[in-house]
Amino acid sequence: MTEIVPIIHIIDDDDSVRKAVSRLLKAAGYAVKSYATSGEFMMAENLESPGCIVLDVRMPGPSGLELQSALARRGNGLPIIFLTGHGDIPMSVRAMKAGAVDFLTKPVQRQELLSAVQNALDRQAKHLSEQTRNQHIRECYATLTEREREIMAHVVEGKLNKQIAATMGIAERTVKAHRAQVMSKMQVDSLADLVRTASGLEPSDG
Amino acid sequence: MTEIVPIIHIIDDDDSVRKAVSRLLKAAGYAVKSYATSGEFMMAENLESPGCIVLDVRMPGPSGLELQSALARRGNGLPIIFLTGHGDIPMSVRAMKAGAVDFLTKPVQRQELLSAVQNALDRQAKHLSEQTRNQHIRECYATLTEREREIMAHVVEGKLNKQIAATMGIAERTVKAHRAQVMSKMQVDSLADLVRTASGLEPSDG
DNA sequence: AACCGTATTGCACCAAAGGGCAGTCTGATT
DNA sequence: AATCAGACTGCCCTTTGGTGCAATACGGTT
């Protein structure tokens, strides 16, 4: 069993800060990776695996806030904990609005950072499992033909086969055929499941 | 038609600030009510109707943050915009974590406040309509008998009448009878609707 | 030309869902 | 004692849903 260990990504241009934070987190049992710039981080590999980011705001090159929005644009779900020595209120508010888990100021209390990291990892775990589930649903949905999707939409709306057949101008038998395909391809065995599954397709976070 | 107008509640101990903010918002066409203390606000009536709160943090008596958590405890959904002259980062972060729409600093830009208020009202409108819908669902659910709720749970899970009858140790005909009651009382006319309706019962925000 | 996936449909049959009607039983209320 | 709501059930019938089998038609591929 190679257990999947979450990785804490530390991004800070200050070498001493990186080392200090890294040491603190390693001592707490976390796997840590450090980067001196946003760009260096973006080059890394494990950007989609579980973990979180401890991010400095003010850095040479792209700032922490810029990195945050860049990650958001490409749908990266890694939670971010800001850690800065030269922040102000508008900056922190902007970061929090953009979804940051926390916004801490240096010097940071050991416990403060640790609990922030724990929160971040919890959030990430939840986000990741939901993501995985929705991903599977989308893959199933992708195997549906255009026609099957139309039928599915009607079925999920609660329409009767008869009604669907009427509005689509086809025989009820055909609706049944497509419907069976939908149930099979979506890997559900009850209408209730299909409806729930379908709700995992619409949401905004995609 | 007496159109329902959202009310902006301004809570600030500084008389001049109240007047200034009030004037600004009235000029923008909003209905405004002012309060000098958190307690005074809690005495008001329209605490559940549409609107939002523009709140000072530092005040005699309960602070803005205390008022925020008090409102949260009693499930009040009024969005809060903090407006303070003596804030710091931890304070703003705490407020944002607790669900504040924004955390502004005095002196505030006219446009900054107005867009914050607009955001708050939008959020409130969304929250309110969802709340209303869920409220109706809960009322319907409240009319179900214990037995009917059991059947509903199984139905929503996608179980067949036959299976439900077996696990509950009753006749299938009885299940059908209860099931019909459930559909009627929940005011839905398809299983799909019932499943969706049921999803409005579970969520955490209750 | 042969083949395949998709859409379409008819026929027949069985399983499941929905109701109408009627009746029993129990506990609580009047 | 009378009444009522809720749970429970049987009988019977209709409507829907789900499937197997078979066949037609069309467009794209090999």
Is the C-beta of residue B162 closer than 7 Å to nucleic acid chain C?
A: yes
Three-class SS of B53-67: EEECCCCCCCCHHHH
Q: Answer whether A134's CB lies under 8 Å from A197's CB.
A: no
Residue A56 has what pLDDT? 95
Contacts of B103 in chain A (CB under 8 A): 89, 93
Residue B44 has what pLDDT? 86
How many Å apart are CA B63 and CA B94, to the nearest integer?
13
**Block residue for tokens 């729930």:** A196
State the fold for domain A142-205: Arc Repressor Mutant, subunit A (1.10.10)
Do the Cβ atoms of B192 and A156 come within 8 Å?
Answer: yes
Q: What is the mean pLDDT of chain B?
A: 94
Q: Residue B17: is its pLDDT beyond 80?
A: yes
Is the C-beta of residue B194 closer than 7 Å to nucleic acid chain C?
A: no
Is the C-beta of residue B145 closer than 7 Å to nucleic acid chain C?
A: no
What share of chain A in percent tops pLDDT 90? Answer: 87
Q: Answer whether B98's CB lies under 8 Å from B69's CB.
A: yes
Contacts of B29 (CB under 8 A, 6+ apart): none
As annotated, the residues of chain A forming the CATH 1.10.10.10 domain(s) are 142-205
> How far, in whole angstroms, is CA A1 from its chain's centroid?
25
Is the C-beta of residue A179 closer than 7 Å to nucleic acid chain C?
A: no
CA distances from A164 to A66, A155, A191, B98, B179 (A): 49, 8, 15, 47, 24
In terms of phi and psi (left: phi > 0; alpha: psi -120 to 50; beta: otherwise), the region of A152 is: alpha
pTM: 0.86
pLDDT band, very low/low/confident/very high, at A204 (cuts 50, 70, 90): low
What share of chain A in percent tops pLDDT 70? Answer: 97
Residue A26 has what pLDDT? 97
A51-55: strand order across its sheet: A31-35, A7-11, A51-55, A80-84, A102-105
Q: Answer whether B195's CB lies under 8 Å from A196's CB.
A: yes
Q: Is the four-CA dihedral B165, B166, B169, B171 of positive or negative sign?
A: positive
Q: Residue B96: is its pLDDT beyond 50?
A: yes
Estimate the share of chain A in helix, then strand, then coil, as percent rounded to the nearest 5. Answer: 55, 10, 35
For residue B102, the surrounding DSSP H or E stretch is: strand B102-105
Contacts of A170 (CB under 8 A, 6+ apart): none
How many Å apart are CA A21 and CA A12, to the nearest integer?
10
Q: Residue B2: is its pLDDT beyond 70?
A: no
CA distances from B115 to A186, B112, B121 (A): 43, 5, 10
Is the omega angle on the peptide bond into residue B107 within 30 degrees of 0, that is, cis? yes
pLDDT in tens, A161-196: 999 999 999 999 999 999 999 999 999 999 999 999
**A49: distance to nearest CA of chain B, Å?**
25
Residue B3 has what pLDDT? 67
pLDDT in tens, A132-170: 999 999 999 999 999 999 999 999 999 999 999 999 999
Name the residue among B93, B189, B195 with its Cβ closest to that of A195: B195
As annotated, the residues of chain B forming the CATH 3.40.50.2300 domain(s) are 7-135
pLDDT in tens, A16-75: 999 999 999 999 999 999 999 999 999 987 777 899 999 999 999 899 999 999 999 998
Q: Residue A206: is its pLDDT beyond 60?
A: no
Q: Where are the alpha helices (DSSP H) in B28-145?
A: 38-42, 64-73, 89-97, 110-142
Contacts of B102 in chain A (CB under 8 A): 93, 97
Do the Cβ atoms of A93 and B97 come within 8 Å?
Answer: no
Find out if CATH 3.40.50.2300 is the number for domain B7-135.
Answer: yes
pLDDT in tens, B44-60: 877 778 999 999 999 99
What share of chain B in percent tops pLDDT 90? Answer: 88
Do the Cβ atoms of B192 and A190 come within 8 Å?
Answer: no
pLDDT in tens, B151-195: 999 999 999 999 999 999 999 999 999 999 999 999 999 999 999
